[in-house]
Structure 1
Amino acid sequence: MDYRGSQFYGEDHNFKNYLERRKWSENANDSIEKPIFMDLIGDVTEKNILDLGCGTASFGIELLESL
């Protein structure tokens, strides 16, 4: 299988596995990426938020709920 970029998640079984891994208490998104993004973004008050990542948009929703 030769997947490029988002094509990988276009396969139902791959996306399902990704979503299952996101539920783990230790996952790369929450343990590594999210803290880095939070440091870079800072206070989101008065900012526009657009979540362009793959997945469930949960990070964007979390930011919107923090307003």
Structure 2
Amino acid sequence: MGGIGGCIALIVVGAILTFASDWQMDGVNLDVVGLIMMGAGLLGLGVYASVMRRRRAAALPIVDETRDRT
């Protein structure tokens, strides 16, 4: 999964596992799995925002103000 949609999907599925499910599995704590998924989604959003900020800054045109416009 990549991008904003994948990160939001991780957060949503993690929240459902943690707060809205009452499933029981032997040897697996679904609350912890949900928290890990939400954390990974938040971390992914942070990384994605950082990368997009750098790309946007690199794509800005460089304006030379010292050039004579006559």
TM-score, normalization by structure 1: 0.27
Give the number of the structure whose residues are more often helix, by fraction.
2
TM-score, normalization by structure 2: 0.27
Higher relative contact order (CA 8 A, sep 6+): 2
Larger radius of gyration: 2
